[in-house]
Amino acid sequence: MKIGFSFDVHPLVRGRKLVLGGIPIEHDKGLLGHSDGDVVLHALTDALLSAGGLPDIGTLFPDTDPAFKDRESSFFLLVALNKLHEKGYKVDQVDLTIVADEPKLSPYYVKMKKNLSRLLNLSEDRISLKARRTEGLIFQKDKPGIMCFALVVLTSL
Ligand SMILES: [Zn+2]
C-alpha cells in the first residue's frame, strides 16, 4: 500500500470558466491557471504521482509548455494513472477536501464524484469529496481563490 498527499491553490478571477473535478460550475469567476485551473484534479493528480514515487505535476507538465495551455486537467490525471499502472499500482481510495468561500459547492458533489469515479475507474464509495469554507480566514474578499487537499491510497495491481 502506498499513500500520497498534496494540495493546490489557484486565484479566482473574472473572465474565466470555473471547472472543478472536471465539472463546469456556475459562478461569475473562474480559476486562473495555465491549464483550466482545476484545483481538484491538480491536487488529486499530484497526490497520485507522489504516492507512486513519480515526479510532481509541475515537473511533468511545466506551465511554460504551450502544449498544456488551457488543457483540460483530466489529461494530466489520465497520464498520471497510466504511469501508475506501468509501475504496477492501482488507485484504492481517494479523499478530497476543497477549501473555498465561494461559490457553494455542495450542489455539485454528486456530479463531481460521478466524474471522478469515471476518470479514476474507481467506485464512488472509494471516493470522498467535501468542501469547507474559511470564513475569510484564508481567502480575503478582494483576493478570492480555491484550494484543494488530496489524499490517495494505492495498492498493487
Ligand atoms: Zn494547479
Bridge partners, residue 23, by sequence: 20
Angle between helices 109-120 and 74-86 (to 10 degrees): 40
Distance 150 CA to ligand 1 centre (A): 12
pLDDT category at 43 given cuts 50, 70, 90 is: very high
User: Which of 50, 76, 82 lies closest to 63 in space, CA to CA?
Assistant: 76
pLDDT category at 69 given cuts 50, 70, 90 is: confident
Q: How many helices (H) and strands (E) does the chain have?
A: 4, 7
pTM beyond cutoff 0.95: yes
Question: Percentage of the chain surpassing pLDDT 70?
Answer: 100
Cell triple for 120 = 479514476
Distance 12 CA to ligand 1 centre (A): 12
Q: Are 148 and 129 within 8 A, CB to CB?
A: no
Cell triple for 82 = 497510466
Work out the average pLDDT over 5-22.
Answer: 97
| Predicted pLDDT at 63 | 87
User: How many residues are given for the chain?
Assistant: 157
Distance 88 CA to ligand 1 centre (A): 26
For domain 2-156, the CATH architecture is 2-Layer Sandwich (3.30)
Residue partners of 14: CB distance under 8 A and separation at least 6: 28, 29
Work out the average pLDDT over 45-49.
Answer: 98
Q: Per residue in 79-121, pLDDT tens?
A: 999 999 999 999 999 999 999 999 999 999 999 999 999 999 9
Distance 71 CA to ligand 1 centre (A): 12
Work out the average pLDDT over 60-78.
Answer: 91
* Domains of the chain, residue spans: 2-156
